[in-house]
Amino acid sequence: MMSAKVYPAQSFNYKSDAIAADKSISHRCALFAVLAEGESKIENFLRAEDTLNTLKIIGQLGAEIRDNGSVITIRSNGIHETSEILDCGNSGTGMRLFCGLLSSAEGHFILTGDEYLKRRPMKRVTQPLRAIGAKLDGRENGDLAPLSIRGASLKAFNYESKVASAQVKSAMILAALRSDGVCTFREPELSRDHTERMLVGMGAHIERNALETKIWPLEKLLTPLSIRVPADPSSAFFFAVAAAITPNSSMIIEGVTLNPTRIEAFKVLERMGADIRYDLISEKYEPIGNITVKYAPLKAVVVSENIAWLIDELPALSIAMACAEGKSSIRNAQELRVKESDRIKTVVDNLNLCGIITEEYPDGYCVMGGKLHSAIVNSHGDHRIAMSFCIAGLRCGMDVEDIECINTSFPNFFELLTQCTKVKL
């Protein structure tokens, strides 16, 4: 098990175009290329464990993949049965989206993952997919991986999801594209919408109206993707918090998606007092631009809305809350319990170890801003917990144990952290 020792940082002013590429969009590039006729060209694909696993799986299913080091080219050959077990590693997105894609493919497929993924709930996709004819199974009546899928013909649906989850929505959209009629998917709150944007860009007939998405079955294969994957706002956010809690510091994050369903955490940091600017530069599939974050003394905030738009940033936001004046709270975030770790528990326990007073709720927690103390904390195998507490270390010094998981989403995290803050590790 590897650990990192992070030392307190001096002020810094840094500009980076090297933040990890967007994980959600990279997964989708690989998966959606399978539905296209011709060659998809993907620049800046995220070369991290989660997304490389997805890429490997589409290769195992028959796609031809070429990689010249900067552009990945994918040519689909349809989906073929394989003798290999398809290993999604740590990725819930990979596993849930493959459930949607493979439910209608000809053949039998086995999806598995690492010890953490095998504990995460899959019923949220297996149940609605089974209801339209998919033949999916797994432990605990289809809730836990390994999952087995035998492709079947799928019926058109009208489904109302109880969770605001882009993974559920995307799995159902993928199923809808190969079902026997027009389908409707409704969600309680808008979740990230990369799937809809990208598939519409590839020629799929999808209509969106507030929380309702209508999907028409594909009449022909899609137009291949031609995309440069933007930087991941969830990865960028660690550096946004670093600048926001380090006096006289600033950070410019270049080429990041400015999709409103992804930058809500920056808006909350702004409400806390940080000085943040958004500059739109281009738009293809997604709005893309730069985000500038400057230090300012932070004040407490209550976060209880648009939770799906900042769910992945809540651990890092909690570090900003610990450095703010007053009592902050996060509510309606019960989804945190079923992420790569139970993030309500892992955030609260680790903040307590750093001397911060917290209170745990079933659907969130509160954080009393105070003085962070150096501590030995553990990531519990969760990349976002590991990176959040490294950022806390910029204030007070920190030993973070079990940091290998950072490779699932942000392999150059420490390189950037040392370059930007000049902090020793």
The footprint of ligand S3P (CB under 6 A) covers: 24, 93, 165-167, 170, 191-192, 308, 311-312, 335
Angle at 365 between CA 362 and CA 368, to 5 degrees: 155
Catalytic residue annotation: 312
Q: Which is nearer to ligand S3P, 191 or 388 (CB)?
A: 191
The answer to whether the Cα torsion of 42, 129, 127, 188 is positive or negative is positive
Q: Which is nearer to ligand S3P, 15 or 119 (CB)?
A: 119
CA distance 112 to 343: 22
Q: Smallest distance from the beta carbon of 303 to ligand S3P, in angstroms?
A: 15
Of the candidates 410, 409, 413, the one whose C-alpha atom is nearest the C-alpha of residue 94 is: 409
Q: Smallest distance from the beta carbon of 166 to ligand S3P, in angstroms?
A: 3
Q: Which is nearer to ligand S3P, 155 or 337 (CB)?
A: 337
CB 186, CB 161: distance < 8 Å: yes
**What phi and psi values does residue 340 have, to the nearest 5 degrees?**
-55, -25
Q: Smallest distance from the beta carbon of 101 to ligand S3P, in angstroms?
A: 13
Q: Smallest distance from the beta carbon of 267 to ligand S3P, in angstroms?
A: 17
Q: Which is nearer to ligand S3P, 335 or 399 (CB)?
A: 335
CA distance 72 to 135: 32
Q: Which is nearer to ligand S3P, 24 or 246 (CB)?
A: 24
Q: Which is nearer to ligand S3P, 170 or 358 (CB)?
A: 170
* Residue 303 β-bridge partners: 330
Q: Which is nearer to ligand S3P, 191 or 257 (CB)?
A: 191
Q: Smallest distance from the beta carbon of 160 to ligand S3P, in angstroms?
A: 16
Q: Smallest distance from the beta carbon of 10 to ligand S3P, in angstroms?
A: 32
Q: Smallest distance from the beta carbon of 169 to ligand S3P, in angstroms?
A: 7
